[in-house]
A and B are shown apart, each in its own frame.
Chain A
Amino acid sequence: MATLVNIIKDNNTDDVCIISKSIADAFSLVPKSRYKLKFGQSIVYAKLNISEKGKKNSIRISSNLFSKLGIPENLRTNVMVKDDMIMLGPVLGIFTNPIYFRKILQQRPPQSCRHMMNANLNSHIFIYFFTTKGANWADNIIEGCYYSLDFGRWIKKQLPLPDVVFDRCVYNSSRQVPLAENYREHLLSGGLIKRINSKDNLDKYYLYEKLKKYPEIRQYLPYTIKFNSIQDVTAMVEKYNTVYLKSFYGKKGSEVMALSRNKNKALRCLHFHSNKLMIDKLEGQGHLSRKINDFFKDKEFVIQQGIDLLKYGDKRIDMRVLIQKDCSGKWICLYNVAFLGQKDSLIVAGEEKGSHPYNFMEIMPLILNKPSKYVSKLYKIIGDASIKIAEAIEKEYGPFGELGMDMALDKNLKLWFIEANTKPDRQLQSGIIGHARCIACCFNVIEYAKHLSGF
């Protein structure tokens, strides 16, 4: 069991580590022997001394080791002993995009960042943020940014590589892609750093191909094929009347096109262009083909069976379900947010695209006109199905700590799985799911990181 300690820098430089008696006893440490001291991925050797007096629950580390380890001064964190290794931390590195990182450096941390720090108030793991800049693979250090309680502000420091990486690097420019991929590759190449999520993204087609093998899940999957020719599109429209074309890695509904045919067989095409809904009538196959080429350019995309989504008035509804692992590694459902799309829009995307988020439990009784008992049963069914799908995803790709599941209900309240997101949006207003829930989402990540790193 990990114990909380204060880590103090000692002025001597002779590779020693002075531990208070309480901790030495708790972990039955042997004085005068050599131990490995580990903080993140940096390890040093130290001779152990035990101090009878002095502060309780403290570890004094000689200054030369202190700087080698890259520990911030006056850190209060956990200690754990495994064989001859004294582990401090654990160190959770949160990988963000440069803009997010810059905001933190300017002492204007985004809300999701503040939630993370609040969630850590009792867990005391060491959290730092880093971006696609400032790594030094020669010395295995990275320039990160952590919150110092002493100074009450965010501080930039050369830090060791973390025990666990939480990948939250959502690109905001295509320039970041090769750099971020580079960073991921290097962080993982040694095989020592754990990840909250085994993959940084899940594409829409191969995921479908893998999941359809599972009979218990197949019922949730809309029929999906990879685009090869325009004939595929027309055949799918013929069969389903409404289809969605989605690029493999598109996000926030910006690379989604909906095609729908009315009773008179006139084809309509909907998509978002810089957050504005565009609706075009398509005349003939040539027009359709041109439209598709212009929209997807050389990106790969899938054709997905359209679902007759549940409607509230003339607004369609879909759901974002967040599921996470708890401290024991068991999946739990954290929230379900229902998005009401723009009027008459076949595509329900984020708030910037005119949709409105509501707490599932609050809006559904109105939509379905059913008592809340019925709705909570539905909530549980959706959560359980999401977890079932997540378990299948894990079988295919390795463990995940959290997944944002896009689920939908059709007119007959049949449940569908649309896609899974490895970096679910954390900008949700706490007004919808409640402040406590927001903190809980972060707390689960922290506890899962502890679980992964053996604390």
Chain B
Amino acid sequence: MRDHFYAVIESMPARSSLKSNSVLVPCNIVSQMSRPAKAKIKFGLKEKAVNLIPDQNSKKVRLPKELAKDLNIFDGMDVCVKYKNDTLILGPLVGILINDSAFQRLCKGKAGNKRMRLMSAAHRSHIFAYFFTADNIIWSDRTVRGTFYKHDTDSWEVVQLPLPDILYDRGGGFSRAGSIKALELRKQLNNFKGLRKVNAQHYFSKWDLYCRLSKYEDIKKYLPDTMLYENVSTLKAMLNKHDMVYLKSCTGSNGREIIRVKKLYDSSYEYDYYKNSVIKIKTDSLRKIADAARKLMHGRKFIVQQGIESLSYNGNKVDLRALIQKSYEGEWLVTSLPVRIASGGCPVTSTKSGSSVYKFEEAFLDVLKFNYKQVEDIRKDIYELLSAVADAIQKEYGSFGEMGIDILIDNDLKLWFIESNSKPAKDTVLKSGTEEEIMKAYQRPFEYAKYLSGFYDSINMENKYE
């Protein structure tokens, strides 16, 4: 149940009849209040002591221009309002962290489809959301230069805003200097007690995740055998056990920094990887493979993972990328379950490598020609896996609002958990989902933000599925 209100915030010129810190609030928002009372007003991490005056004549929250300026509030903002513990909370204020070049593009009004969708989703949820980067933060004033889309004027505004109460970390693809600054920023934001994060972690190291998850009996069965690469003998040991292995950088994403190595019958090896195009090389020296891997991974740590002979379609690898998100009640929901089919024998199924994306039913019934019963069984198993993995990850790392989970199905229809992504880009949803699904995928993090910042009273931390 919704127990907060939507209201437009408006500033008004100073009036002689009102004190400079008076805020007029529609009666229904402060129903317990009959007379003006001292209270606090909160917007993002900024708080001010004010005099709240119940107002019967207007549906808008009105406050003096000077106060609005102090709180970095501007006219016509349409947000959620809640009166709780003597505090009038406007918000939640959601800050979306992005990289510097993306931010510069937005400031120039160049927004792509995904960022526009984020802004409209926030607008639909009556949430004020803005984009910011690791620069231009004034800690002493608790403000940051952010940019947001103004729907009524169809323009991007760049303004000074309070630090958010909810951090939605979408920061990736930083320059080297940018990533150092972003790390420092994340560390600093953790110091603010009032600030909550949609996701506890901004990335998973594949090795760390494997180590932590392999402690759980109910998850271990889904995990492919994995080792951290130390030297050629790691690779040798893994290839003795398995016919195919994957080398993956611990922090890589988008199918970059992945090499597939296959053992051939004549005791030589074949490895391939995707770098703008598929590159396939045959060699009989493991050392050569290790050298190639170190070069591709730019000297970063990488894992050696058992290759799973997955279901295939015309010789192309099939995998699933589930997007799970929490609802406004804090329960897990499966937003979408698209199936990706690689193209042209590519070792990865990342959408960046040109794979095709299908809806779950479409892929299994129409493309892979499974029967209805089989599809439902697989779906049940997948939901079980998602539930177990999401639970375990939260136990290990803290609370998450959304996660992308990569799953493989082998020829015996056994499920394998490959990796989890804490900043799912929703490309697969955009490619395969209906408009409704897409809108949901973008809106749910904002609804969850309301839950996180206490706009819904019902507290239900159990994780359930739709």
Instruction: Report if B291 contacts A (CB, 8 A).
Output: no
B180 pairs with A179, CB closer than 8 A: yes
Instruction: Report if B396 contacts A (CB, 8 A).
Output: no
Q: Contacts A189-B138, A189-B141 given; indicate if A138 touches B192 (C-beta within 8 A).
A: yes
Task: Please give, as numbers and ranges, the residues of chain B lying within 8 Å of A137 by CB-CB distance.
Answer: 137, 139-140, 188, 191
Chain A 136-151 interface residues, beta-carbon cutoff 8 Å to B: 136-140
B188 pairs with A135, CB closer than 8 A: yes
Instruction: Report if B177 contacts A (CB, 8 A).
Output: yes
B139, B141, B177: which contacts A177 (Cβ < 8 A)? B177
B139 pairs with A179, CB closer than 8 A: no
Chain B 429-444 interface residues, beta-carbon cutoff 8 Å to A: none
A138 pairs with B188, CB closer than 8 A: yes
Q: Encode contact with B along A298-309: 1 for CB under 8 Å, 0 otherwise.
A: 000000000000
A80–B120 CA distance with the chains assembled, in angstroms: 56
Cβ distance A187 to chain B, nearest Cβ, rounded Å: 9
A190 pairs with B140, CB closer than 8 A: yes
Q: Encode contact with B along A189-230: 1 for CB under 8 Å, 0 otherwise.
A: 110100000000000000000000000000000000000000
A179–B184 CA distance with the chains assembled, in angstroms: 8
B180 pairs with A175, CB closer than 8 A: yes
Instruction: Report if A118 contacts B (CB, 8 A).
Output: no
A190–B141 CA distance with the chains assembled, in angstroms: 7
Cβ distance A422 to chain B, nearest Cβ, rounded Å: 21
Cβ distance B139 to chain A, nearest Cβ, rounded Å: 3
Instruction: Report if A182 contacts B (CB, 8 A).
Output: yes
Instruction: Report if A186 contacts B (CB, 8 A).
Output: yes
Cβ distance B166 to chain A, nearest Cβ, rounded Å: 16
B137, B177, B191: which contacts A136 (Cβ < 8 A)? B191
Task: Please give, as numbers and ranges, the residues of chain A lying within 8 Å of B139 by CB-CB distance.
Answer: 137-138, 140, 186, 189-190
A190–B193 CA distance with the chains assembled, in angstroms: 21
Q: Encode contact with B along A258-286: 1 for CB under 8 Å, 0 otherwise.
A: 00000000000000000000000000000
Task: Please give, as numbers and ranges, the residues of chain B lying within 8 Å of A190 by CB-CB distance.
Answer: 138-141
Cβ distance A97 to chain B, nearest Cβ, rounded Å: 15
Size bracket, chain B contacts: 10 to 19
Cβ distance B418 to chain A, nearest Cβ, rounded Å: 32
A177–B176 CA distance with the chains assembled, in angstroms: 11
Residue of A nearest to B178 (CB): A178
Q: Contacts A175-B180, A177-B177, A178-B181 given; indicate if A138 touches B141 (C-beta within 8 A).
A: no
A179 pairs with B181, CB closer than 8 A: yes
Q: Is the interface of B mostly helix, strand, loop or mixed?
A: helix
Residue of A nearest to B181 (CB): A178
Cβ distance A125 to chain B, nearest Cβ, rounded Å: 23
Q: Encode contact with A along B134-174: 1 for CB under 8 Å, 0 otherwise.
A: 10011111000000000000000000000000000000000
Q: Contacts A186-B137, A189-B138 given; indicate if A136 touches B188 (C-beta within 8 A).
A: yes
Chain B 99-127 interface residues, beta-carbon cutoff 8 Å to A: none
Cβ distance A140 to chain B, nearest Cβ, rounded Å: 7
Chain A 362-406 interface residues, beta-carbon cutoff 8 Å to B: none
A166–B159 CA distance with the chains assembled, in angstroms: 32
B140, B181, B191, B193: which contacts A189 (Cβ < 8 A)? B140
A139–B178 CA distance with the chains assembled, in angstroms: 24
Residue of B nearest to A177 (CB): B177
B138, B141, B184: which contacts A182 (Cβ < 8 A)? B184
Task: Please give, as numbers and ranges, the residues of chain A lying within 8 Å of B180 by CB-CB distance.
Answer: 175, 178-179
B191 pairs with A182, CB closer than 8 A: no
Task: Please give, as numbers and ranges, the residues of chain A lying within 8 Å of B134 by CB-CB distance.
Answer: 182
A138–B194 CA distance with the chains assembled, in angstroms: 10
Q: Contacts A137-B139, A140-B140 given; indicate if A178 touches B188 (C-beta within 8 A).
A: no
Chain A 103-157 interface residues, beta-carbon cutoff 8 Å to B: 135-140
Task: Please give, as numbers and ranges, the residues of chain A lying within 8 Å of B138 by CB-CB distance.
Answer: 186, 189-190
Q: Quick one: which of A135, A138, A140, A192 has the most chain B CB within 10 A?
A: A138
Residue of A nearest to B189 (CB): A138
Q: Encode contact with B along A416-446: 1 for CB under 8 Å, 0 otherwise.
A: 0000000000000000000000000000000
A135–B180 CA distance with the chains assembled, in angstroms: 15
Task: Please give, as numbers and ranges, the residues of chain A lying within 8 Å of B188 by CB-CB distance.
Answer: 135-138
Task: Please give, as numbers and ranges, the residues of chain B lying within 8 Å of A179 by CB-CB distance.
Answer: 180-181, 184
Task: Please give, as numbers and ranges, the residues of chain B lying within 8 Å of A192 by CB-CB distance.
Answer: 140
Residue of A nearest to B195 (CB): A138
B141 pairs with A178, CB closer than 8 A: no
Residue of A nearest to B138 (CB): A189
Task: Please give, as numbers and ranges, the residues of chain A lying within 8 Å of B193 by CB-CB distance.
Answer: 138
Task: Please give, as numbers and ranges, the residues of chain B lying within 8 Å of A136 by CB-CB distance.
Answer: 188, 191
Q: Quick one: which of A136, A137, A139 has the most chain B CB within 10 A?
A: A137
A323–B369 CA distance with the chains assembled, in angstroms: 83
Cβ distance B176 to chain A, nearest Cβ, rounded Å: 8
Task: Please give, as numbers and ranges, the residues of chain A lying within 8 Å of B140 by CB-CB distance.
Answer: 137, 140, 186, 189-190, 192
Cβ distance A28 to chain B, nearest Cβ, rounded Å: 32
Residue of B nearest to A183 (CB): B184
B192 pairs with A182, CB closer than 8 A: no
Q: Quick one: which of B180, B191, B193 has the most chain A CB within 10 A?
A: B180
| Interface pairs (5), CB distance under 8 Å | A136-B188, A137-B137, A139-B191, A175-B180, A182-B184
List residues of B whose CB falls within 8 A of some A CB. 134, 137-141, 177-178, 180-181, 184, 188-189, 191-193
Instruction: Please name 17 further chain A to chain B contacts, defined as beta carbons within 8 Å, in addition to the given A140-B139, A189-B141, sorted by A numbering.
Output: A137-B140, A137-B191, A138-B191, A138-B193, A139-B191, A140-B140, A178-B178, A178-B180, A178-B181, A179-B181, A182-B181, A182-B184, A186-B138, A189-B139, A190-B138, A190-B140, A192-B140
Identify the 5 closest CB pairs spanning chains A and B, nearest first: A190-B140, A137-B139, A138-B191, A178-B177, A189-B138
